Amino acid sequence: TGGLTTIDPGFKNTGSCESAITFLNGEEGILRYRGYAIEDLAEKASFLEVIYLLIFGELPTEEQLTKFHNDIKEENHVDEDVKKILNGFPKSAHPMGVLASLTSALTAFNPDAVNVDSEEDMYNAIVKLLGKFPVLVAWTMRTKKSKPLDYGDDSLNYVENLHKMMFSKPNSEYKVDSTIIEALDKLLILHADHEQNCSTSTVRIVGSSHAGLFASISAGISALWGPLHGGANQAVIEMLEGIKADGGDTKKYMAKAKDKEDPFRLMGFGHRVYKNFDPRAKIIKKAADDVLEQLGIEDEVLAIAKGLEKEALEDEYFVKRKLYPNVDFYSGIIYRALGIPVEMFTVMFAMGRVPGWIAQWREMRLRKEPIGRPRQVYIGETHRPFKAMSER
């Protein structure tokens, strides 16, 4: 057993690294990126500024931000052959699977993103990914909906360009309500990093083998896809729609969530670290009210969500286990109001999380961390002689 006597399932009590990027205090519901409070960044910064802050550690000057954006624009196209890969997927393919494949395939088109040892090599790979990822996100969605692809517009800011590539209408000038861009920008900031969560830990351990940036991010996309992690934002809306279709009886579903025999979980509730309100959920809940009001949208499932939250906060089972709404509980209501299809919700989480994954991958490489290779406590058979077929 290599001298080990205890293991830590789910790494509930294991620290995997030292990091200077994101600070969480689960008891007090605090989240800071490089020391800046998430509340300030969500209110006052742009997603591109937060991308720069997470990766390089400081809020950019005007000049630094302009250069960073220009370097990204140099890379905001993908090899035309990517269309052949996109069209090769069945329409039933989940966008997260398509995106994980395309991101990893980028290495095939950009092999220089594998052996990145110098800071300059890393920077080049990073701006390549930040340029190409929004294109892959938009093209994945449009291909699934059999819509013509949009190549973006360099005169737009980073989030507007993503939105244009996703939603522009052929043969008509691209226009968008600033409410939508502001909401999207805020949501992407709120999802940008979250220290050593499941998908970020995946990016770090894959990156520790020097598999390269794109392959590491591709692995992170697959980890994020799970309904216990980023896939929860899609699962929340499906759950809320199910409750609505079943007459909106939230008490019945609260009972199911507490019934150990019933596999049903209240999706969007609970968190490994936050034993208080997830600060992101608070901001998103308010943004959901604001966006729906500004866009004049009534969404019945928002009332159901608020009803569930109210009941849970007064329910002994939930209170005892310190289960509060997390980042995924209200985000889908905004994505839906922005016209994003539900199967793309987790892709939007990935779009937001890419800067955090990049920052954590870069920190791990710059600190020259060793390849991740934990041990185990062996509980299998002791040594035994081979059995011939006739003896089995």
Q: Say which DSSP state 115 is in.
A: S
Binding to ligand SDX (CB under 6 A): which residues in 192-231?
194, 197, 228-230
313 phi and psi angles, rounded to 5 deg? -70, -15
9 in contact with ligand SDX (CB under 6 A): no
271 annotated active-site: yes
- State how far the Cα of 242 lies from the Cα of 267, in Å rounded to an integer: 12
Q: Is 224:232 a contact under the CB 8 Å cutoff? A: no
186 in contact with ligand SDX (CB under 6 A): no
94 annotated active-site: no
Binding mask 321-360 for ligand SDX (x = CB under 6 A): x-x--xxx--------------------------------
- State how far the Cα of 75 lies from the Cα of 387, in Å rounded to an integer: 59
The catalytic position among 163, 185, 271, 315 is 271
Closest CA to 355 of 68, 156, 154: 68
The nearest distance, CB 133 to ligand SDX, in angstroms, is 18
265 in contact with ligand SDX (CB under 6 A): yes
269 in contact with ligand SDX (CB under 6 A): yes
232 in contact with ligand SDX (CB under 6 A): yes
Q: Is 40:382 a contact under the CB 8 Å cutoff? A: no
Closest CA to 265 of 235, 300, 225, 237: 235
Provide the β-strand partners of residue 37. 32
- State how far the Cα of 206 lies from the Cα of 218, in Å rounded to an integer: 10
Nearer to ligand SDX, 94 or 194 (CB): 194
Nearer to ligand SDX, 3 or 10 (CB): 10
Nearer to ligand SDX, 17 or 273 (CB): 273
244 in contact with ligand SDX (CB under 6 A): no
The nearest distance, CB 62 to ligand SDX, in angstroms, is 30
From candidates 257, 283, 301, 333, binder to ligand SDX by CB under 6 A: 257
Strands (E), the chain: 22-25, 30-33, 36-37
From candidates 270, 332, 352, 355, binder to ligand SDX by CB under 6 A: 270
Give me 185's structure tokens.
């920008």
Q: Is 358:126 a contact under the CB 8 Å cutoff? A: yes
Nearer to ligand SDX, 264 or 378 (CB): 264
What are the angstrom distances between the C-alpha of 162 and each of 128, 188, 294?
Answer: 15, 11, 21
**Residue whose C-beta lies closest to ligand SDX:** 270
Q: Which residues bind ligand SDX (CB under 6 A)?
A: 10, 194, 197, 228-230, 232, 257, 265-273, 321, 323, 326-328
The catalytic residues are 271, 328
